[in-house]
Every structure is written in C-alpha cells, then in structure tokens.
Amino acid sequence: MQTHEIRERFTDHFVKAGHEAVPSASLILEDPDLLFVNAGMVPFKPYFLGEQNPPFKNGTATSIQKCVRTLDIDEVGITTRHNTFFQMAGNFSFGQYFKEGAIKHAWALLTNPVSEGGYGLDPERLWVTVYLDDDEAADIWENVVGIPAERIQRLGMADNYWHMGVPGPCGPCSEIYFDRGPEHGAEGGPAVDDTRYLEIWNLVFMEKERGKSTGPDTFEIIGDLPKKNIDTGMGVERVACLLQGVDNVYETDLLRPVIDAAEEITGAKYEGDGPDAIRFRVIADHSRTGMMLILDGVTPSNEGRGYILRRLLRRIIRSARLLGATGETMERFMTVIMDTMTPSYPEIAENRERIIRTAVTEERAFLKTLESGTHRFDEAASAIKEQGITQFSGEDAFTLHDTYGFPLDLTLEMAAEAGLEVDVAGFEAAMSEQRARAKADNLAKKHGHADVSVYREWVDNNPTEFVGFSDLTADATVLGLVINGQSVTQAVEGDDVEVILDVSPLYAESGGQTADRGRLVSEGTILEVNDVQKVGKKLWVHKAKVTAGGIELGQRVSAEVDEAWRHGARQAHTGTHLIHAALREVLGPTAVQAGSLNRPGYLRFDFNYTEQLTPEQLEEISTIANQAVDADFPVNTIETTLDEAKKMGAMALFGENYGNDVRVVEIGGPFSIELCGGTHTEHTSQIGPVAVLGESSVGSGARRIEAYSGMDSFRYLSKEAALASGLAASLKAPSEELPERIASLTEKLRAAEKEIANLHRQQLASQTGALLDQAVEAGQFTVLTHRLPDGVSGGDLRTVATDLRGRLAGKPGVVVLASADGGKLPFIVGATKEAIELGVKSGELVKLLSGYVDGRGGGKPDMAQGSGSNAEGLDAGFRAVREELAGL
C-alpha cells in the first residue's frame, strides 16, 4: 500500500466517523516556543488550552500534519528510526469523546480489512502500553476491545505521559505497537524491545496543563484543562513500513527512490550499516526535510530556521561527495523527492522551480568553500596529530567557521571521523560577540514564551469587534485591565496598562503592518495607546499609559485612532502590494514573498530570490510601482472563503495559518490580488510617490527591498536632489555628469592610497635590519619584542615578522611585533624552525600576550596573530613573553 493511499484511508476513516478534515498547517507557525511544528496537535493548541473555541461543527477534527524535529539530526542515518521530517496522522476531540472513543477509532482503522477501508493489520500482533495508574484505559483495551491482559503493559512518565517538551497541554497516553517478529528482537513486548515491537500510534488523553521542567522527565502540573480532549498521532512512515513489507522508512516508496538516485550519481552501493549506508540515509532524509522547509518558505541563512535548512543541505552535499559524487547533485535529489511527495502535497508542483533554485544556489555556494575548507581542516588535523594532540583547537574551528563558512557541527563531524575532539569552549569564546548580538536581536524580535492565561476569560467570551476598516473612532466598554501580567480592576495616572475593549478601531499588529497609535478618552481620563497586540487572533490588547485621570472596569471610553499614523501606515501597506506586483512582473512568479514590515512612511519587502538585483531591475520595479500610483487604481477589499480567494488567484503568505473566511485586497484588477487583513488606501494615488531605497541580501536565497512612501518619500527625494545639487556645485559639473566625475576621483584616490601603502611598506622594510639590534637573549632564545609605529596593519605586521624571522634563521629566534591601527592593536608572533624544535609554539605565546592587551588570536607554531584593544598592557605582555621563553 503506497503512502499516499495510507493517508487517504486515514482521512476517509475519520471523516466517515464525523470528524472535520483539516489541512496540514505550515511547518512555520507563530509559536514562540517552537522553531517548527513538531507534533500533529500543535495547530490545535489554542483549543486544548481553552484560549479559543474549536471551529469544527462536531467538536472533532482529523489532519495529517507535516512535522519537523531537529534534535536528532546527528542520529539520522546512524539508526533507521530517526527522521527529521515525518507525517503525523491524527484525530482530535475537543470535549466530545474521550478514552473509549479514541481507542475504538484506532483499533477499527488498524484491524479492519483492506476491503472495508482499514489497514488489515493482524490484531494478534498488536500490543499496547498505558500509563502506570491508568486503570480506565487498561480496562477498555482488555474488556471492550478484547486485547489479552498479557499484551497490555504499564510504563512510566518518560514513556506514557505525553507533552510538547515545553509548557502547554499534556496528559497520560496509550501507545499501540506492532510485533514485527522474532527476527527483529527479543520477546516480551515493547517494555522489553521497542525495536521488534514498533510503535505506530499514540493516543493522548489530553486533560492537564504542564508548567516548566523540574527535572529530566518531570514537570509541574499547573492544573486541569477546561475540557477532556483527545489528541492522537499515527506515524504515517512507520505504518508504511509495515504495509509495504520493508525493514525501515528508507526502504519505503517515499525515500528509497532518493537512495537509488544517489547510487546512480555516486557509483557507491547502499548496503549494510557502515559509514556509506549512513551517508545514503542522510541524503534521503535531509532531501525530503529540506524540500519541505523550502516549500513552506524557509531559505538558508546563519540563524534560526534558515540555519537548520542550511545545515541539512550541507550535510547532503558533503555526504554525496564522500560517496564519490564529483559534481552538483542537489537538483537531482530535489527532483526525485518532489516526485515522490507531490501526490500527497500537490502544491509542490507549482513551487518546483523555486525549490530547485534555492537548493542549487546553496549547493554552489557551499561547494566553493567546501574544498578549500576541507583542505584547511586536513592541514590543521595533520599538524595536530604530528604533535600527538587529540584536540582540534577552538581557534581553528572558528577560522573554519568565519573564513570558510563551516558550521561547528560540520567541524565536529569531520573531527570525529579523524579521531579528534574539538575545543568547543574555545570556539564558543571566539563566537561570544556574535552570540551576544544574536541574543540582543532575538530580544528585539520579542521571542520567548509568553503566559497568556490571564487573557483566557476574554478570548472566547468577549472577542474584540474590530471596526477600524470603516471607523477611526468608536465608543467602547472596558472589559479588562492587566498590569504586569495580573488582572486588575483599575489603573491610575502614570500606570502602564493593557486594556481590553469590546469594540476597537485600532489596528492590532499583524501581517507585517505595525499597530495603530491612538488614545482612549472619557471625561477626565486620557490613555495614550502605543501598541496593540492580538491574543488568540481574537482579542485586541491595547498597551497604553494613563496620562490623565484613571480608568476602571466597565467604564465607557472613546477609542480614537491617530489619523496621521493610520494614513501613513495605509500608504506604506498599499505601497508594499505595489512593490510585490512590480517585483513579480520584473523577476517572474518565482520571486515569492517571505515577509514584510510596514510602518507609516516606510516599507520593506522580503522575497525568495537567489541573485542580486541589477540597478536596471530596481529602476524598473520603482517605475512600475509609481506608474500604478499615477494610474489611480481603485483598491477593493473582498471578504470571501479561502477556496474562492484561491480561485480568484489571490496570493498567500508562507507560514500564515488562514481561516476559512479571508479578506482579499485587489488593486487595479489583475495588477495585484492578495490575501491581506491590513488597512489600505482607497486609491493608489493616495499613496504618494514610492521611493525605492535599494535591495540587499538577508540570507542565502532571500533578498530585501526597502522603500519610503508618502511624505517620507517626498522628503527623501528632496534631500537626494539637494545632495546632488550640492555635489554638482562643488565639482563644478552638471548633475548628469556626477557619476563619471566621482568615479574618476575615486580611481585617483585609490591609486594614491596604493602608492602611499607601497611607500609605507618600503619604509618598514628599510628599518627591518635595524630592528634586530634591539633583540635580547631570553634563556636559549634570541627574542625581539617591538611596537612598530601606529597605523601598521595586520598584513604589514606579517610581512615584517616574516622578514625578521628569516634573518634569524639558523638560531632559535622569536619575533613579537605589535602596532596600534584604527583603535585596534594587531600583534603577531613568529618563531624559527630551531625555536620550534626547542618547544616554542607561537599560538601559545599569542594567547599569553592576549591576556595583557584584552585580545584574542591563534595560529600555527611558526606564526600566529591576534588583535587586542588595550595598548597600555603591551609592555607587560612583551615582558611576560620574554619570561616565558627564558623559562623553557
């Protein structure tokens, strides 16, 4: 039975049982706890928590959810059980049926004959586990379903108590296992051997809410969920193994074709469980996961989701090379996996070109660095082994990362293959500045788990009525007040407070558009609203400061939007649609939106594209957008169903989880039609001029266009015109000749700088011989420590140090030089062959000197460099180096 049919049978079974079929959500959801959707229940979490009422007519649903788990990336291929991407088929009940219903549904599908829509599994080969004290579930299995007591096993919290790994819904569970036979392991059920007894379905009795972890497998139980729910997960890939009669998921109809393609490309054979077999499995698994991530809008980058994708693709590339591939392989792998997955995910077909281009671009970029980086690794590893050392230095690992683009995990893999460990602590120290910047960036993006339990009483009982599409003021009643995460009854002047209203005209931040600013006013009371956020997609939370009077529950207020703010935001948001339409006209339909930001007067638009735009393309995009402004197109909004919107050709944003009812924004008929919940101008002429500032890279395969709109655009263009006029006057040239005149001056300046640099090097070279007169004896060594004049670069230091070391050849000599250059203090240590034979390691001396000048550095025994910031410690550092050498 093919995997596509397994999926169809699952959905049909539960639809016939009254469940509503729900399509898989994107792998990327707005959940601060999760990088990717990692379980079938994740899209339903608000319903389990009681934050929202489930929109399903019978209170039940079924889905086959795309999932990615990345904690086991290093285990992929080593075992045949770990996969980064998998499909979780599930049925869900929100306060309807509970344990008995879930158990009966699962048993029927698994054991019903194939002719009756089931999977036809032998009931005598099915075992189950239940939580330690779950007598109710055990009784249902034995006395309702009829499984003998000896095939029902009780396990502890680590095995039979399900949770997401983070605070959220949880509960005891019952797992269903299939006995694959004695050739796969020992008898005794899943408690004895969970390889022979393969878990295929987990029935979670979702009734509790967990808090933070208190130990490896323990956590605080906050309390009961509002209702007793059912969340089940059947592993589609595992069932496919059983129904297709194969040993593991790599032999199924989805992944085996990729392995076959890899055999053809590399000339190697997939057999056994050795290193080559592991590489074949890595290629197959990562090709599928990478393809699905690209499908859902992820592009390779150096952080977050993009880093995971980059890591997966680079592991494919390197595995293929180690198997014998000599050219590009990614297009073939992506084509094969798209062919196997398209029957289940038809949207792959319309994204094939984009998926291939993203993967191939990453491959080409990595191949450029892989060969040189591998050569650098091999050199360093050989030098380490020659010295009898088993640890690859953190400095070398950082060099591979910083210079060759090697992520640490790739260095770890290569080091393990070479029998070496990596000084991870040293690498982390070298990366500390980058990590600090990333941490600050994450905080700025408001990442992290937020406790929204305080809002629950309003989310479903009092969702906010948004009237801001038509009105900028509205009379409203204060339903709730929150200060520092606690519900309160009043707030007074000076308080920062979150206000929940029954009606609001203020736009809550979403879809890339920033929130409205405005005021809440009543007699003697003024609150300045500086932000509006959504909770559960239904509740508007107005973040405000009480600037006069006070506010209390039940009070009537006038909610007012700052008209100037809204006008600027509407201009920017509508301008973004024009930029998007112009972009697709110039670059084609594969330039897919990857995110946006709109605030009054400013917009930025991210899109998936692998090449830098030319000045001509940017100018054309700007022209098309402003022609649309000049055409005064009407901007129409249409509320319709999601299916109808797709039929109209409306574009959707990757990662957005749209409901059944959507809002379509149409500009100029076919010129632009998109799903969008933002605020817009009535006509394009109201946007004013759109000034494109430029475009830039925001990661591999992702670009960003930035622009001004309205008066901000006018001010920018006026400033640019004034600047050009001033330059023309200074250079005594017409403005149209400025580019040529400036290019000529720049070329002359570069030539002058080059000449000065050459003269500088000649001057240094002429002084080299004289510097040796300052060398002193330190124990067995001739040592020169000297601070060169300010302004000598690190490159020039190396040139001088190499010359001086050559002049000391034949004796144990060490050269230590430094210079202040632009606020930094580059320094270098060089040692002759004779000094190295006596135990000198330039890298160790650089580390010693670094401690005195607040710096860092590293290198090989014969030459090592570093940079510091504290020139006052240089003399003490020189003295410490001489003392260290004297003691050898």
Q: Which residue has the tokens 């160790």?
A: 844
CATH topology of domain 3-249: BirA Bifunctional Protein; domain 2 (3.30.930)
Q: Which residue has the tokens 């600050």?
A: 440
3 state DSSP class of 819: coil
Options 3.30.980.10, 3.40.50.720, 3.30.1450.10, 3.30.565.10; which CATH number does 566-722 get? 3.30.980.10
In sign, the C-alpha dihedral spanning 861, 863, 864, 870 is positive
Contact by Cβ (8 Å): 505, 559: yes
Ramachandran sector of residue 272 (left: φ over 0; alpha: ψ -120 to 50; beta: rest): left
3-state secondary structure 336-385: HHHHHHCCCCHHHHHHHHHHHHHHHHHHHHHHHHHHHHHHHHHHHHHHHH
Give 833's pLDDT tier (boundaries 50, 70, 90): very high
Rounded Cα distance between 476 and 496, Å, is 19
Domain borders along the chain are: 3-249, 256-444, 453-561, 566-722, 771-886
- pLDDT tens-digit series, residues 439-470: 444 444 333 334 566 887 787 678 899 999 99
Asked if residue 580 belongs to a known ligand binding site, the reply is: no
Q: Which of 169, 156, 175 shows the shortest CA–CA distance to 216?
A: 156
Rounded Cα distance between 580 and 588, Å, is 11
User: In this structure, what are the phi and psi dihedrals at residue 465, rounded to the nearest 5 degrees?
Assistant: -90, 110
553 pLDDT more than 50: yes
Helix (H) or strand (E) holding 330: helix 330-341
Structure tokens at 497: 């407070």
Q: How many Cα atoms within 13 Å fall on the side-chain side of residue 694?
A: 3
- pLDDT tens-digit series, residues 323-334: 999 889 999 999
* Residue 244: count of CB within 10 angstroms of its CB: 17
Q: Which residue has the tokens 């229940």?
A: 41
Mean pLDDT of 239-251: 93
Mean pLDDT of 816-837: 91
Q: In this predicted structure, what is the pLDDT of residue 555?
A: 95
230 pLDDT more than 60: yes
Rounded Cα distance between 693 and 621, Å, is 12
Asked if residue 573 belongs to a known ligand binding site, the reply is: yes
Q: How far is CA 263 from CA 257, 333, 334, in A?
A: 10, 11, 15
Q: In this predicted structure, what is the pLDDT of residue 445?
A: 36
Contact by Cβ (8 Å): 473, 566: no
Strand partners, 176: 128, 201
* Residue 86: count of CB within 10 angstroms of its CB: 22
Q: Which residues of 201-238 are buried (b: 16+ CB within 10 A; e: fewer)?
A: bbbbbbbbbbeeeeeeeebeeeeebbbbbbbbbbbbbb
3 state DSSP class of 419: coil
Mean pLDDT of 117-131: 96
Question: What is the DSSP annotation of 578-630?
Answer: HHHHHHHHHH-TT-EEEEEEEETTEEEEEEE-SSPPPHHHHHHHHHHHHHHHH
Contact by Cβ (8 Å): 99, 137: yes
Q: Over the Cα atoms of the chain, what is R_g?
A: 33
Mean pLDDT of 632-654: 84
- pLDDT tens-digit series, residues 846-880: 999 999 999 988 888 999 999 999 999 999 999 99
| Strand ranges (E), 100-185 | 126-131, 152-155, 161-163, 168-179
Mean pLDDT of 62-84: 83
Rounded Cα distance between 53 and 456, Å, is 11
Rounded Cα distance between 694 and 714, Å, is 16
Terminal CA-CA length for the chain? 73
Strand partners, 492: 550
Q: Which of 191, 205, 189, 202 shows the shortest CA–CA distance to 136?
A: 205
Rounded Cα distance between 471 and 865, Å, is 65
Asked if residue 401 belongs to a known ligand binding site, the reply is: no
Better pLDDT: 833 or 375: 833
- pLDDT tens-digit series, residues 252-308: 999 999 999 999 999 999 998 888 999 999 999 999 999 999 999 888 887 788 889
Q: Percentage of the chain with pLDDT > 70?
A: 94
What pTM was estimated for this model as a whole?
0.61
- pLDDT tens-digit series, residues 668-719: 988 999 999 999 999 999 999 999 999 988 766 788 999 999 999 999 999 9
Mean pLDDT of 739-767: 82
CATH topology of domain 453-561: Elongation Factor Tu (Ef-tu); domain 3 (2.40.30)
User: In this structure, what are the phi and psi dihedrals at residue 650, rounded to the nearest 5 degrees?
Assistant: -65, 135
Alpha helices in 169-274 (DSSP H): 236-244, 256-266
Contact by Cβ (8 Å): 800, 768: yes
CATH topology of domain 771-886: Diaminopimelate Epimerase; Chain A, domain 1 (3.10.310)
Rounded Cα distance between 607 and 512, Å, is 13
Query: How many residues appear in the chain?
Result: 888
Structure tokens at 334: 């992506």
Rounded Cα distance between 797 and 806, Å, is 14
